[in-house]
Chains A and B, each alone.
Chain A
Amino acid sequence: MQITGMLHGARLLQLVGFPTAEVLGPDANDDEIKGLIERHKQVFIKPVFRGGVGKKGKAGLLGRVSDLKSALKEKERLYFAEHQHGNQYAKANGVTFEGGVPSEHEIYFSLTDSTEYRAPTMTLTHHGGMDIEELDNTQIARVPFNPLTGLKAFIVANALSELNAPKEIISPLVQHLPNLWDLFHDYGMTTLELNPIRLRADKRGRLTPVACDFKCGFDRDDPRWQRLDLPAHLFAADTSPFEQEINQLRTYQGQSDVYIINDKGTILAPTFGGGANSLVTQMLGDDAIISSDFGGNPPYEKMKSVASICFKHWLKQSNVLFIIGGKSNNTDIFETFRAMADALREHFGQYGPSPLYVVVGRGGPNLVRGMAVLRDTCEALGLPYASFGFDSAMSEVVDYARKVDAWMKAGGRAQIAARLNVNA
């Protein structure tokens, strides 16, 4: 769950009193844009992306204008800009107009949790505006600090001292940067990055830090970010309709973590346990439709709802229904298997039979009863099945499921379909 850009970033920064560049949103009218240009002489125009999107500047997705006509032209160019970064493709929906801040200095600042120090860590350099990766280690301060006291002024001062930063920027940064800790820690963030912060001089030459860009990431497991009243649609792009349906069932009574790996996949694998999830997803690769973790002992109703949703979206295209997990510590196998069996039977009842091979690998309390229920359901529905206990190596079971899928693709599915009297 990430936010990029000043459209929302400016408002968040204002919560803790951190000065920001003047920002207009996509609905700014010509007069407002004109006013902005008049006040700041130079105006930046940036596309608004959802989620965390980096390296926009490098991709030329930045407009810099000093008159209205150019501003409108850039707005048109950037409003629906498309950008590929890493494994993600993003399309903008809107632009921001940001007043330029003349400055001799550009500061990079970020807060995140470091696994090296196992503490919140500030990264700070006055060689900002560049790629932080390109800087030498002596030019960057990485300072862990105590979250119980927070980011105190002296921590910033010491860091700037070590960097031999120019005298004039020390006081303004020391005064304002500590406020960002409140934003970071009290509102459920896991990362916060301002790059660049520019230092604007007043008539007497005193400098004030002004945030000119904003990026943050939120912790899904921390309800504090809900204090920010952010519009729900900001994070909706992260998930597909299927994932959203499952997420609505999210309680701490059992995970319902799910992610679409390949919407054209052929193995539907409800998985139990984070470890199993990792192994199974890795081994199945693109044959898997989803990557999931339904462990944590979900009650019958929840498991049945989750299974029904999965079947509704994916059963038709699946060759293999692969129910897999390790030896459960507290998840009741009978309850969860009964729920999936009932969901399968109801699904067949509602949508008709589907050619399917059922493969199971599991261990845990009430294991035999659970396997028996699934077996009875497969028998009743006319489906072939293979059930393995915890004494079969999980990786071998995953391999078996893959081989079944391969056989299904090579004509097995048609065989089963014929017996069920349906189309393959």
Chain B
Amino acid sequence: MKTSNAVGGFKYYTGIDSLADIATRSVRVCVLNILGGESSDVTPVGHAWSGGNVVFGTSPGRRGQVLDTPAGPIPVYNNVREGLEAGHRFNCGVVYLPPSAADDGVVELVRVNPDLNKIFIPTEKMSVHDAREIRALAQLNGIDIFGGNSLGVADAWNQVRIGGALGGDSPGDTLKKGSIAVLSNSGGFTTTIAQYLRMAGWGTTTLISSGKDVYIHYAAPEFAHALANDDRSKAAVLYCEPGGYYERDANFTKPVVACVVGRWKSKLTRAVGHAGAMAGGADDAASKERWFMEKFGVDALFTPQNPVVSKKGAVVVNIADIPAALTAVMRANGVQPDFAPEGTMELKPWFISTRGLQLPKELDLAPVEAPEPYREQIAALKQQVGTVLPRQTMKDTSGASQMDAKTQLTSLHGVSMLDAAQYPLEANVSLALLHEPGGVNDQRLINVAIGSGLNLHGHPALAAAQAAREAGNAPNSVLATAASILGPKSQEAARRAVQVLIEQFAAAGLADALDEGFDARGVRIDDTALFTGKEADPRAQAMLAGLQARSAKSVFVRYLQSLPGHPTEDAVLAAITATLAWGPLMRKRISRLTAESLPAWMRLFGALIGASVPAEQHTVDSFCGITMQDILEQRPISEVAFIALLGLPPNPADLFSFQVLVGLLLSNGPGTISAQGAKGAVSADGPEDPSRVQLNKALVGFLTHTGYAHGGNGYEGIAFLIEQFKDAGLQDPGNPDHGIDLHALAHRYVKAYASYKSTKKNTGSLDIQKIPGVNHPVFKDKPVNHDPREVFIAKLFAERGEYNVFHQFYRTLVQALFDAGVSRNVYCVNIDAVIAALLLKMLWQPYRSGAYSAAALETAAFTIFLYPRMIGCAAEIDDHLNRGRNMDTRTPASQCRFVA
């Protein structure tokens, strides 16, 4: 054994005579696995603080790379030998390897470098097997080891740190030169103890994190020896966990405060946290307390209530008592603290909210300013309005909609489609974009906002839509044409206005957008051209009149009207949307980005509903025969949309059915082709730069991704029903005494279908047309199947006492199919049947009277899908805009296939 430079007369080798010699400016370090996760964060900081003590690092296969540090790059080699061959010299190694490889690293260092005298091992959870062998090898070669599970060593005098992250991101801030040495079984607490000591006016010399494995290679006995020989250190603090006889064998010649924790561990049978920190018996926490008390000649622990010390030291069990104990021990030795105390142990809450609860005084603390730079960061938080979502890939992923695979029920922002079916359309607009259905005032605001965008008279978008219609395009293409024309420029002014409003009113501390008593004098708007003009704007005035007629409240609108000059239309829209967004912004339910997009959405919704009706329905002052004044001041949007869609006067029953349809069709999850089109459009613009995402184009993405099979297939069910009922003499589908034998009707069809099916089979054709409205890929395995959505709707209407012969027919039909042996079990009546039944009920009489052609029926069936799905896709677009990454909906080539 190379014991020629052994010191201390120990039973084993230790080569360190003084604490001052451990982390000096002349120590040269090699870091193994220097490019690993932990090292790449920690090594640059230590290297820079120490004046550049790492000469090179290793990482297999990464020769030629460097680790950048504030003190210059550190070269990386494949292994230690390469580094030495390149001319580097070191005497200290740091092993940043995972547990299974740590001992390999130690052996490499020892075998390859004869100049080695110290090794630091930060690795946690090394096996005892490896620790045994490492120790034996190091002993044989005269090398001191620190660790395993060690955060390394730091020297506040030399300003050197080796090994791990002692002192955190900026050790210079935590480690102040003084006279106390620290040896701690806990890495994190080593730094904490240094901070506590400063509070009592004590600085540090050398701090060592010893780890708390079964093998502690540099422990209390040799620390005590090196402490004795270190002229800079007047005393030491030890932090000890149970396990190991290390402290018993230590001979201290200078004052020591020992903090012993872990009495509760005697009850455990398994280690938590620190591997060696369990009790075997005579080396448990209670035993360690006794050893120290004997060494110091005290008969009790030190507590603030009972401050027992001797000149040799004191024993504490609470880390908070260390500073006081140390000061008391040193006072007994006639030694003053190193400098003035730097703070207190008082509680300083950075964030606190008692929510108005009745708390005792000691709990009801006032918030305290944090030290820099945290104070600044917290202040910046206050300026943050709304939530900020982390970005991730959003391919086939939505934060807005979610389908429950079992029930096939989709929810939008937590509200199921069945519940949404009972909200008016305005509430669903709020749900989609503001994440909650909102209240009555919100609906009033939305009615005016959307209503003011409906009339496209004289606008090129209207002419374009009409041309598309006349060319035989389906409703989705007609709407897409209009949407393409309504570009970002047309919405810029309102967007900028709402940005200013949010910024200014947040700074002014507005909490509630309906607060009549809010003092807006703190609001400072410099660019008034955004909000007012010299001339009166009739469209703005009409909107304001609408708000007033509806008694809609808004701090923003009131403020706008208080400005000199005439409010612009964009300003009014901005004020309306700011009001809508305010609550959710303050509650951090939505982001600023979402709030700023609202004016554009309102305009787009209005325009697309408008574009869905022929151009002649838009006159200078009316839309679909309703005056603009009526639309803005009276009508709810759901009613206007009904009229736009169907061209019929709305009665309460039909209006309710329309509302139910809208709720049901809002969304079917992010997997639907319509949602994918919308999300793809956002992804392709690049949501990471949100200002470049074109909302109108994203709606075009949604529109082009609907069609005769998806969205337009509602007509199939209608055509089917018409075919069945065309000669049945049905007058009023809502009258239960219709006098039609539904059973006979159903059986007639079943017979025809059965014969059709067998003919097809006989000719060997597998191409059998499905019956629209029955069966479902999920609800199909029971003897009698039900689509829960259909069940819900049936119940809903039954409770209202509203009968629908078409729905009843479908229920009869599935039973008949089974009775005739055509189906093996009773199919469910699916949601498409419900939609067809609801819609046809509304349109039956106009259709029969000839006022409605088959083509018009088809258009209506398609459009009634487009309205709500537009709103649902707006939610997906907004969600993807906030959360997505550029091009994230792309499918990698490796997952694509080719077929010849």
Residues of A that sit less than 8 Å from B by CB = 51-52, 87-88, 113, 115-120, 146-148, 185-186, 188, 190, 219-224, 238-239, 252, 255, 257-259, 261, 273-279, 281-283, 285, 291-293, 295-297, 325-330, 338, 349, 363-365, 367-369, 371-372, 375-376, 378-380, 382-397, 400, 403-404, 407, 412, 415-416, 419
Q: What are 29 A-B contacts defined by CB distance under 8 Å?
A: A87-B269, A115-B243, A117-B11, A147-B133, A219-B128, A222-B129, A259-B270, A259-B272, A275-B184, A278-B273, A279-B261, A282-B261, A285-B264, A292-B272, A297-B38, A326-B191, A330-B41, A330-B42, A372-B351, A385-B351, A386-B352, A387-B352, A391-B195, A393-B345, A394-B319, A396-B320, A396-B347, A407-B363, A419-B355
Kindly report which residue of chain A lies nearest to residue B374, judged by CB atoms. A368
Are A190 and B128 in touch, CB under 8 angstroms?
A: yes
Task: Tell me whether B558 is interfacial, beta carbon within 8 Å.
Answer: no
Option from B168, B249, B261 in Cβ contact (under 8 Å) with A329: B168
Shortest Cβ distance from residue B403 to the other chain A in the assembled complex, whole angstroms: 16
Closest residue of chain A to B128, judged by CB?
A219
Q: Which residues of A contact B381 (CB under 8 A)?
A: 368, 372
**Distance in Å: Cβ of B501 to nearest Cβ of chain A:** 23
Report yes or no: A326 in contact with B318, Cβ–Cβ below 8 A. no
Q: Are A327 and B191 in contact, CB atoms less than 8 angstroms apart?
A: yes
Residue from A219, A261, A328, A349 within 8 A of B129 (CB atoms)? A219
Of B111-119, B209-217, B525-533, the segment with at least 4 beta carbons within 8 Å of chain A is B209-217
- Would B273 and A293 count as touching, CB distance under 8 A? yes
Q: Is B518 an interface residue (CB 8 A)?
A: no
For the complex, give the distance between the alpha carbons of A369 and B358 in Å: 29
Bound together, the chains give a CA A277 to CA B271 distance in angstroms of 11
Interface secondary structure of A, over-half rule: mixed
**Complex CA–CA separation, A292 to B273 (angstroms):** 7
| Beta-carbon contact of B317 and A282 below 8 Å | yes
Q: Please name the 8 residue pairs, one residue from A and one from B, whose CB atoms are nearest each other, closest first.
A: A275-B186, A329-B165, A222-B127, A274-B273, A395-B320, A275-B189, A115-B244, A326-B188
Assembly CA distance A210 to B264 (angstroms): 39
Taking a contact as CB atoms under 8 Å apart, the answer to whether B129 and A276 are in contact is no
B365 CB within 8 Å of chain A: yes
Known: A185-B129, A379-B588. A258 touches B272 (CB 8 A): yes
With a cutoff of 8 Å between Cβ atoms, the chain A residues found around residue B130 in the complex are: 222
Task: Report whether A387 and B264 are in contact in the complex, using a CB–CB cutoff of 8 Å.
Answer: no
Does B362 belong to the interface (CB within 8 Å)? yes
Within 8 Å of chain A (Cβ to Cβ): is B541?
no
Closest chain-A Cβ to B192's Cβ sits at a distance in Å of 5
Sample of 13 more A-B contacts, CB < 8 Å, known A115-B244, A368-B377, A371-B351 = A88-B269, A115-B215, A118-B216, A188-B129, A221-B99, A224-B129, A257-B271, A275-B184, A329-B151, A365-B169, A391-B343, A394-B319, A395-B318
| A-chain residues with CB within 8 Å of residue B345 when the two chains form the complex | 392-393, 396
Residues of A within 8 A of B283 (CB): 115
Task: With A117-B12, A275-B188, A296-B124 as known contacts, state yes or no: A281 contacts B350, CB within 8 Å.
Answer: no
Contact yes or no, B387 A392, CB < 8 A = no
Task: Give chain A residues whose Cβ lies under 8 Å from the Cβ of B354.
Answer: 384
Residues in B whose Cβ lies below 8 Å from that of A292: 272
Tell me if B351 and A375 are in contact (CB < 8 A).
Answer: yes
Q: Are A221 and B125 in contact (CB under 8 A)?
A: yes
- Given A113-B128, A278-B277, A372-B381, the answer on whether A327 and B188 have CB atoms closer than 8 Å is yes
Q: Does B357 contact A (CB under 8 A)?
A: yes
Closest Cβ–Cβ distance, residue A413 to chain B (whole Å): 11
Nearest A residue to B370 by beta-carbon distance?
A: A389
Bound CA–CA A396/B354 (angstroms): 19
Residues of A within 8 A of B780 (CB): none
Query: In the bound complex, do residue A404 and residue B42 qualify as a contact, i.e. CB atoms below 8 Å apart?
Result: no
Complex CA–CA separation, A185 to B381 (angstroms): 56
Bound complex: CA of A369 vs CA of B376, how far in Å?
Answer: 12
The answer to whether A282 touches B127, judged by C-beta atoms less than 8 angstroms apart, is no
**Is the CB–CB distance between B214 and A115 below 8 Å?**
yes
Chain B residues within 8 Å of A397, by CB: 347
Given contacts A221-B126, A282-B317, are A379 and B192 in contact (CB under 8 A)? no
User: B275 to A387, Cβ gap below 8 A?
Assistant: no
Distance between Cα atoms of A117 and B10 in the complex (Å): 10
Q: Which of A188, A224, A255, A368 neighbours the largest number of chain B CB atoms within 10 Å of its CB?
A: A368
Q: Mark B139-178, 1 if CB is under 8 A from A, else 0.
A: 0100000000001000000000000111011000000000
B346 CB–A CB distance under 8 Å: yes
Q: How distant is the Cα of A387 from the Cα of B365 in the complex, in angstroms?
A: 11
Residues of A within 8 Å of B370, CB to CB, are 368, 389, 391
B867 interface residue per 8 A CB criterion = no
| Contact call A380/B587, Cβ cutoff below 8 A | yes
With A118-B12, A330-B165 as contacts: A148 and B188 at CB distance below 8 Å? no
Closest CB-CB distance, B496 to chain A, in whole Å?
27
Q: Mark B356-385, 1 if CB is under 8 A from A, else 0.
A: 011110110100001100100110010000
Residues of B within 8 A of A349 (CB): 414
- B536 touches A (CB below 8 Å): no
Question: Given the interface contacts A379-B353, A394-B192, A412-B357, does A274 sit within 8 Å of B347 by beta carbon?
Answer: no
A382→B355 contact, CB < 8 A: yes
Q: Could you tell me if A384 and B267 are in contact, using CB atoms closer than 8 angstroms?
A: no
B127 — which chain A residues lie within 8 A by C-beta?
188, 219, 221-224
**B635 within 8 Å of A (CB atoms):** no
Assess whether B263 is interfacial by the CB under 8 Å rule. yes
Contacts of B195 in A (CB 8 A): 327, 390-391
Closest Cβ of chain B to A23, distance in Å, is: 26
Chain A residues lying within 8 Å of B589, measured Cβ to Cβ, are 380
CA distance A330 to B38 in the complex (A): 7
B 249-284 binary contact with A (CB < 8 Å = 1; else 0): 100000000000111111111111111110000010
Q: Are A115 and B349 interface neighbours, CB within 8 A?
A: no
Asked if B852 is at the interface of the complex by the 8 Å CB criterion, the answer is no
Contact A115 B188 (CB under 8 A): no
Q: A221-B126, A387-B351 given as contacts; is B168 within 8 A of A282 (CB)? A: no
Partner of B274, one of A222, A274, A368, A387: A274
Asked if B135 CB lies within 8 Å of chain A CBs, one says yes
Residue interface mask B284-320, A partner, CB < 8 A = 1: 0000000000000000000000000000000001111
Is B818 in contact with chain A by the CB < 8 A criterion? no
A400 touches B347 (CB 8 A): yes
Contacts of B352 in A (CB 8 A): 385-387
Q: Which residues of chain B are near A364, meaning CB under 8 Å?
A: 168
Task: Mark each residue of chain B from 19 to 48: 1 if its CB lies under 8 Å from any CB of chain A, else 0.
Answer: 000000000000000000110011000000
**A404 CA to B11 CA in the complex, in Å?**
51
A326 to B168, CA, bound (A): 11
Cα distance, A400 to B348, chains bound together (Å) = 11
A325 x B348 contact (CB < 8 A) = no
Contacts of A258 in B (CB 8 A): 272
- Determine the chain A residues whose CB is within 8 A of the CB of B358 once the complex forms: 415
A279 to B347, CA, bound (A): 17
CB distance from A313 to the nearest CB of B (A): 17
Closest beta carbon of chain A to B249's beta carbon, Å:
7
In the complex the two chains form, is A407's CB within 8 Å of B42's CB?
A: no
